[in-house]
């Protein structure tokens, strides 16, 4: 008991002493300040996915032509996007996680890195062998391999500068996320919630690979880097300290040790506050009867001090998750008016179908509204408690094990999965790729065995009945009021990261393989459409080279939506239920990973 006092004092000192000295990584800042580059996966540290380039605009985007293409030689799902720094492009692939450095002057491959990974990693990856991309800083390219090795490569030669093991794939701790560089640290998460992996986020020194800090999602305060008296959360309509053992009290016994809350999404950073933001995933197992309680801090938005890892605030979106509504989707930082008042906001479109607007400095809950009208598992979020009000009919816990709860909307893959949305500072709107898929969910008892799936539920997925679109919509969202402003239906779920530009356009890809651009002021006005070689689950990006603006996107069907095609699965309940939901996809596209780059004709 005595040990906890100096721990709290130490944490408090660190938490409040550092921000005055805050600065970002100077090299990354310089690169993202030049819109000719695409220097981070989201283009910037705020995850806005907005470019100031305007040569391609609403008036001429319809004239886009293919400038060049590149095949990665890999058939699984291609998520994320390449990076562009100066004359060089750095591309990644799914497993085996190849990295290519390409000279943009002649599209020559300058170097290729192909790690030798144990193929035994593949069956340890729940929802395809995807990788969400690279990071770049100070002459190094950072790759988070599937086998959990975090690797720093020399950007000029591709030689390994350092590597460090981030997790143990033998127990299901693998990686799919993109690393992010904030200050002098490269930060990475972990996958494996369906294997009972206890989630964490880790900061490594960019020059040596030395671990600087690691914060867990569940467990004792000191391992989560939570200060019981200083880490705040939304409580009874205001911010209050989380209190001692805030996680342990919400799990039975040692369940937190295999409790999930993995961290395979996107991270953002506010330099002025010196805080990084990210979400944690579902609790393990998917059978809620085996883990009564709120299961903190799975399904949670974390704001952590980048230097120390200490959490300044936390907000749990889906306590006692009964539906696998992973909370890992990106946190978009934007200064917007919320209910008539200017706010330093954090906007998050959760898998559970609710869009959240919080004050990113204090953690206050400001807005929580459905961004898909078909969401039925909860009526609303109680703004005083911050808790969703669950509809008993769709509660898988109320039914209990071996009871099939039918008609839950959205399905486990959410009203939006990891595919990131964009923010346009000109329209002040958020542009969001969405899904309309519902499910039947039958939990069953499952025993934990290290290295084996720890799911405990059978799912069937299908298109949402009476949807306001097809299986997907592309929407424009007002995060200040919590309302859909515009909506454009799509035949299949929109599983591609979007991009907005100063040229007044908003672009995204579709599962059939179309790259599309619409008018940012009127998204129903489709300005450009091109069928790429395979379905698109990658993120649209843009850059300028030798005075010309280019736009590009990975195609390569896969990910959770395309797992049936990517892994050759047949049964409707395979792929955790996704195979049945997307059975029609194979009539529209085929496997194959490639990059397609567009530009205007001379």
Task: Catalogue the active-site residues.
Answer: 324
* Phi, psi values for residue 381, rounded to 5°: -100, 125
Look at strands 99-103 and 108-113 and give their pairing. antiparallel
Q: Cβ of 117: how many Cβ atoms within 10 Å?
A: 17
The CA distance from 8 to 309, in Å, is: 14
The annotation status of 526 as a binding-site residue, yes or no, is: no
Look at strands 232-235 and 311-316 and give their pairing. parallel
Give the gyration radius of the chain's Cα atoms.
Answer: 22
DSSP structural state of residue 245: T
Q: Cβ of 231: how many Cβ atoms within 10 Å?
A: 27
Look at strands 50-51 and 499-501 and give their pairing. parallel
The structure tokens 């519902």 sit at: 438
The annotation status of 330 as a binding-site residue, yes or no, is: no
Q: Which of 301, 292, 349 is nearest to 321 (CA)?
A: 292
Q: Which of 330, 326, 331, 329 is nearest to 295 (CA)?
A: 326
* Phi, psi values for residue 61, rounded to 5°: -60, -25
Q: Which of 475, 470, 469, 477 is nearest to 487 (CA)?
A: 475
Burial of 572 (0-12, 13-18, 19+ CB in 10 A): middle
The CA distance from 284 to 190, in Å, is: 14
Please name the residues in contact with 380: beta carbons below 8 A apart, sequence gap of 6 or more.
Answer: 368, 370, 388, 389
Q: From the centroid of its chain, how far is CA 128? A: 15
The annotation status of 324 as a binding-site residue, yes or no, is: yes
Dihedral sign for Cα 23, 419, 67, 72, please.
positive
Burial of 568 (0-12, 13-18, 19+ CB in 10 A): exposed
* Structure tokens given for 369: 């509204």
The annotation status of 218 as a binding-site residue, yes or no, is: no
* Structure tokens given for 425: 């500072």
The CA distance from 209 to 460, in Å, is: 42
Q: Could you tell me the end-to-end alpha-carbon distance of the chain, in angstroms, rounded to an integer?
A: 72
Question: Is the Cβ–Cβ distance between 409 and 352 less than 8 Å?
Answer: no
* Phi, psi values for residue 153, rounded to 5°: -110, 145
Query: Hey, what's the torsion of the CAs at 233, 235, 238, 239, to 10 degrees?
Result: -20
The annotation status of 79 as a binding-site residue, yes or no, is: yes
Q: Which of 412, 454, 442, 418 is nearest to 324 (CA)?
A: 412
Known binding-site positions: 79, 132, 176, 194, 262, 282, 324
Known binding-site positions for pyrroloquinoline quinone: 79, 132, 176, 262
Known binding-site positions for Ca(2+): 194, 282, 324
């Amino acid at each position: 008991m005595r040990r906890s006092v100096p721990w709290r004092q130490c944490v408090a000192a660190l938490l409040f002493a550092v921000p005055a000295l805050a600065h970002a990584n100077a090299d990354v800042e310089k690169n993202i300040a030049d819109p000719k580059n695409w220097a981070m996966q989201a283009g910037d540290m705020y995850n806005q996915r907005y470019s100031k380039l305007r040569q391609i605009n609403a008036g001429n985007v319809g004239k886009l032509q293919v400038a060049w293409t590149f095949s990665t030689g890999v058939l699984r799902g291609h998520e994320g996007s390449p990076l562009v720094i100066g004359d060089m492009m750095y591309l990644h692939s799914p497993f085996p996680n190849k990295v290519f450095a390409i000279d943009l002057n002649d599209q020559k491959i300058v170097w290729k890195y192909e790690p030798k990974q144990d193929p035994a990693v593949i069956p340890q990856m729940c929802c395809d062998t995807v990788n969400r991309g690279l990071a770049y800083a100070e002459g190094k390219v950072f790759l988070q391999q599937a086998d959990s090795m975090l690797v720093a490569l020399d950007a000029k030669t591709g030689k390994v500068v350092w590597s460090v093991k981030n997790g143990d794939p033998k127990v299901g701790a693998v990686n799919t996320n993109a690393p992010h560089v904030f200050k002098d640290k490269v930060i990475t998460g972990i996958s494996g919630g369906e294997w009972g992996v206890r989630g964490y986020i880790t900061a490594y020194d960019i020059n040596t690979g030395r671990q600087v800090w690691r914060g867990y999602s569940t467990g004792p305060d000191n391992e989560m880097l939570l200060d019981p008296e200083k880490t705040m959360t939304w409580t009874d309509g205001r911010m209050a300290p989380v209190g001692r053992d805030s996680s342990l009290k919400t799990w039975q016994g040692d369940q937190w040790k295999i409790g999930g809350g993995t961290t395979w999404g996107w991270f953002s950073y506010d330099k002025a506050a010196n805080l990084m933001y990210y979400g944690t995933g579902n609790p393990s197992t998917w059978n809620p009867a085996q883990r009564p309680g709120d299961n903190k801090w799975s399904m949670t938005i974390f704001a952590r001090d980048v230097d120390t890892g200490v959490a300044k605030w936390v907000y749990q979106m889906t306590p006692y998750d009964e539906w696998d509504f992973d909370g890992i989707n990106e946190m978009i930082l934007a200064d917007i008016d919320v209910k008539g008042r200017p706010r330093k906001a954090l906007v998050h479109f959760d898998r559970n179908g609710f869009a959240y607007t919080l004050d990113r400095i204090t953690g206050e809950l400001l807005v929580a509204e459905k961004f898909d009208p078909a969401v039925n598992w909860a009526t609303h979020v109680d703004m005083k408690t911050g808790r969703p009000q669950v509809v008993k009919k769709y509660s898988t816990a109320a039914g209990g094990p071996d009871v099939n709860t039918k008609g839950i909307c959205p399905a486990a893959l959410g009203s939006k999965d990891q595919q990131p949305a964009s923010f346009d500072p000109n329209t002040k709107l958020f542009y969001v790729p969405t899904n309309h898929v519902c499910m039947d969910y039958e939990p069953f008892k499952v025993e934990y065995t290290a290295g084996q799936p720890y799911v405990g539920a059978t799912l069937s997925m299908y298109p949402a009945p009476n949807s306001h679109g097809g299986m997907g919509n592309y929407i424009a969202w007002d995060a200040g009021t919590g309302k859909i402003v515009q909506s454009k239906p799509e035949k299949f779920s929109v599983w591609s990261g979007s991009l907005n530009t100063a040229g007044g356009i908003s672009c995204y890809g579709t599962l059939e393989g179309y790259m599309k651009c619409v008018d940012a002021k009127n998204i129903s006005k489709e300005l450009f459409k091109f069928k790429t070689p395979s379905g698109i689950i990658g993120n649209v990006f843009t850059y300028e080279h030798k005075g010309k603006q280019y736009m590009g996107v990975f195609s390569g069907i896969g990910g959770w939506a395309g797992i049936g095609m990517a892994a050759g699965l047949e049964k409707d309940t395979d792929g955790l239920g996704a195979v049945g939901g997307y059975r029609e996809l194979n009539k529209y596209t085929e496997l194959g990973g490639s990059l397609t780059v567009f530009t205007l004709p001379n």
